[in-house]
Structure 1
Amino acid sequence: MMNHLCGIGQSSSSLIGLICKKHTLNLFQFSSHRGIMNLCKVSHHPIRHLKDAFLRSSVSDHDSDMYKRASLSLYESLVAFGKGWATYSTGTAKQYHQIGGAANFRQTEPFSLILPRNIGNKSTKKKNDAESTYKILGSGMILLKNYLSISDQVEIVNICQEVGIGPGGFYQPVFLSGAKMKLQMMCLGRNWDPQTSSYTRYRSDGVQAPSLPDTLVSLVETSLQESCALTKSKDEIPLMSPDVCIVNFYTTTGRLGLHQDKDESPDSLRRGLPVVSISIGDSAEFLYGDTRDTQKAKKVLLKSGDILIFGGKCRHIFHGVQSIIPYSAPLSLLQKTMLRPGRLNLTLRKY
C-alpha cells in the first residue's frame, strides 16, 4: 500500500516522515489545512487509500496511542478537506490531478447558475429593456449596448444552466502552475484546455464538449452582420459562423488578467475572425489595450445585454476583467431566472 502511495522504493513506514520532511513540519503541524493539501499534491493518490497506511506508519514508527490518534485525525481531516483533489463516484475515486501538473477537475456537485427560490438575489438596478446603441472602440472593435432584450438574456441563461449542470458542464479551471482561475467555465463545440492552451474534443476528465446550440450561432451571425452595417465596412469586422463558445461565470469577486485569445487555428487568427462576447448579469469593468500593462489599458463597462465584438486589426488585443460590480444586474432578469450574483459571459469564435 505504502509503496503504491509514495512510489517504488519507498518503505511502508515513510509516508508521514517523507511529507513532513519535505515541508519542514512535525506530525501535529502537518495536520493543519496547508499540510493536508500539500499531502494531496505530493501523493497523487485517492484519499481513501491513506487510512491503513497512516495506521501502519503510526504503529511501526511511533508505537504509541498518541501518534495513532494523530494519524487517524489526520486521515479524517484529509477526507474532510481533500475533496478538491479527489472525488468519489460509486465507491471509486476519480482523479483529475495530473502528476507533474495542476488539477483540472470537475466539482463533486455541479455548479448551478440558478439560486434556490428561497434565497433570492439583490439588485438596485430596475431597468428592463432599453434602446440599443453602439460605440466603436477601435478598428474592428465595437460595443453593441443593450443589444439583447431581457427575454433573450433569460433564454441564454436557461441554455447555459441546462448544459452547465450536465456532463461537460461548469468546472473551475486550474493552470499548470496550480493557480485556479477565478471563475467557473464550460466549453461548447470544442474544449479549451488552460493547461495546454489548446483546443481538444475532450476535457481532461474524458468528457466531450457539449455541442454549440443553434440559437447562439444565429445570434452571433446576426450581430456581426449588424456590426458591419454600423461600421459601413466588411473589412473591419470579418463575418464568421462560430464553432466554439467558452462560457465563464464570474462571482462578484471574480476577475481575469489581461491576455490574448490566440489559441484558435492559424487560419482563423490570420483572417482576424472576431471574438463575440456576450454579457449577462452583473456589470464588469473590462480592460483592453495593446500590451499587458494594466496602467496603459483602456476601460469600458460591460452591462447585462451588451455584446462586445473584436476582430480584424483588434483581434489580438490584450483584454481582461478587472472587477464585477455587485447588485448591477437588471431586476427583471433576476426575477425571471434567479441568476446567482455575478456575471455570465459567453465568448464565441471560429476555431
Structure 2
Amino acid sequence: MDLFDEQEREAGLQPLAPGAALLRGHARSRGDALVAAVHDIAAASPFRHLVTPGGHRMSVATTSCGTLGWHSDEGGYRYTARDPHTGHPWPALPELFVALARDAAERAGFPGFVPDACLINRYQPGTRLTLHQDRNERDECAPIVSVSLGIPATFLFGGLQRSDPVRRLRLVHGDVVVWGGPSRFVFHGVQPLMHAEHPLTGACRINLTFRRAG
C-alpha cells in the first residue's frame, strides 16, 4: 500500500469495489444543517409511503427535491418534474446538498458530479429496503451518492447479480457511500433497522440519495 492509500484510509475512505467507496463521517460536521434542510423540504413535499408496481406499500417513507423527484405507483417507477401529491414542482436542491454530493463524489473518484435529484428516505425501526438496482436514471455514467443521517443502519452492498455475495456495512450518522463506474448497477439494500435514538432525528434514519436523473 502506498502513502496515498494510507492517508485516504486514515481520512475515512474505505474502498468497497471498483468505482465504489465508503466515506466514514464525511457528512458528520454538516449534520445539523442537512437535517434542518430535510425538514424544510418535507414541509413543502411531505414524506409519504409509495406503492410499488406490484401494489405493495413501501415501509420506507419518501420525498424528493431537485429538478426531478422519484415516484412509484402501480404504473411503475419513474422520475417526475412535479410532486404528484401536491401538484407543485419538487423543492429545489439546497446548495448545501449539491456541495456535499459533489465533494463526496470527487473523493470517491468522480469529479464534476452535479446532481439534479435527491431521493430522501425516512426509516423507522423495523423498516427495511430489499435488494435492488438504481436503473431509472437517464445518466448511467454518473455515480450514486448516499448519505446516512440519524440512527445506524446495516447497508447491504452486493454485486451485479442478485445472487452475488452481499457485504453488510454498518453505517452511522454522517457516513457516505458512493458507487458508480463498474459498480453503478450493484444490488444494494438496507436490513431492518434496530431500535435506537439520535439527538438530531429521534428514532429514525434519514437517507439522502443523490442522482443525475435527467
Q: Give the TM-score of the pair, scaled to structure 2.
A: 0.86
Query: How far apart are 1:169 and its partner, in Å?
Result: 2.4
1:136 aligns with 2:12: no
Q: Which amino acid aligns with 2:89?
A: Q
Residue of structure 1 equivalent to 2:104: 223
Q: 2:178 aligns with which of 296, 309, 320?
A: 309
1:193 aligns with 2:71: yes
Write the mapping of 1:157-306 to structure 2, written as runs, cut at 5 A. Answer: 157-166=35-44, 168-189=45-66, 190-195=68-73, 196-205=76-85, 206-228=87-109, 237=110, 239-265=112-138, 268-269=139-140, 271=141, 273-290=142-159, 291-293=161-163, 296-306=165-175
Instruction: Report if the CA contact (8 A) 2:154-2:169 is conserved.
Output: yes
Matched residue SS, 1:159 = helix
Residue of structure 2 equivalent to 1:103: none
Q: Which amino acid aligns with 2:70?
A: W
1:146 aligns with 2:25: yes
Query: How far apart are 1:292 and its partner, in Å?
Result: 2.2
Structure 1 runs (4+) deviating above 4 angstroms are: none
Write the mapping of 1:316-335 to structure 2, written as runs, cut at 5 A. Answer: 316-327=185-196, 329=198, 334=199
Relative to its length, the structure with more strand (as a share) is 2
Instruction: Report if the CA contact (8 A) 1:132-1:147 is conserved.
Output: no
Relative to its length, the structure with more helix (as a share) is 1
Matched residue SS, 2:193 = strand
Query: How far apart are 1:327 and its partner, in Å?
Result: 2.1
Residue of structure 1 equivalent to 2:205: 343
Q: Distance in 2 between matches of 1:241 and 1:149?
A: 21
Deviations 1:88-130 (A, max 9, x none): xxxxxxxxxxxxxxxxxxxxxxxxxxxxxxxxxxxxxxxxxxx
Q: Distance in 2 between matches of 1:306 and 1:161?
A: 20
Query: How far apart are 1:133 and its partner, in Å?
Result: 1.1
Deviations 1:249-272 (A, max 9, x none): 00011100000001001xx11x2x
Q: Distance in 2 between matches of 1:176 and 1:222?
A: 34
Q: Give the TM-score of the pair, scaled to structure 1.
A: 0.54
Q: Which amino acid aligns with 1:326?
A: H
Consecutive unaligned residues of structure 1, counting only runs of 5 or more, are: 1-130, 229-236
Measured on the aligned residues, the alpha-carbon RMSD in Å equals: 1.8
Deviations 1:198-251 (A, max 9, x none): 1111233323211111110011111222223xxxxxxxx464100100000000
Matched residue SS, 1:325 = coil
Q: Distance in 1 between matches of 2:20 and 2:116?
A: 20
Q: Which amino acid aligns with 2:162?
A: R
CA pair 348-225 structure 1, distance change in 2 beyond 3 A: same
Matched residue SS, 1:257 = strand
Equivalenced residues, count: 199
**More relative contact order, 1 or 2 (CA 8 Å, 6+ apart):** 2
% identical aligned pairs: 30
Query: How far apart are 1:328 and its partner, in Å?
Result: 6.3
Instruction: Report if the CA contact (8 A) 1:277-1:346 is conserved.
Output: yes
Instruction: Report if the CA contact (8 A) 2:53-2:77 is conserved.
Output: no
Query: How far apart are 1:149 and its partner, in Å?
Result: 2.9
Q: Distance in 1 between matches of 2:103 and 2:81?
A: 27
Largest Rg, 1 or 2: 1
